[in-house]
Amino acid sequence: MEKFFTPNFDFKRYCKLIENPITIISDDCWDGKVSKYLSLKFTSSFINFYLYNDDYMKSSENMDYYLEEDLQMYDK
């Protein structure tokens, strides 16, 4: 439970976070690392996912559209 010893850790805010889960979206694995560190449920579609910066910016401008699209896999 090292998170409890993190500088500026606020237990009341942490409890609110547990009661009202959030989704973290990032362009790399940061969201998964934070969720794991804080023992949060993985709710992001972006866990273990990497996007190039341009693609991340494009998707973040219209997130609803891209989250509703079917996932497509391509071989390179």
Backbone dihedral region of 48: left (phi > 0), alpha (psi from -120 to 50 degrees) or beta?
left
pLDDT tens by residue, 21-70:
888 888 888 888 888 888 888 877 777 778 899 988 998 899 899 888 88
The pLDDT value recorded for residue 25 is 83
CB neighbour class for 38 (10 Å; exposed up to 12, middle 13-18, buried from 19) = middle
The pLDDT value recorded for residue 33 is 84
Encoded amino acid at 7, one letter: P
Of 3-7, 13-17, 43-47, 55-59, the range with the lowest mean pLDDT is 43-47
- Residues ≥6 apart with Cβ < 8 Å to 68: none
The answer to whether the CB of 40 falls within 8 A of the CB of 18 is yes
Encoded amino acid at 73, one letter: M
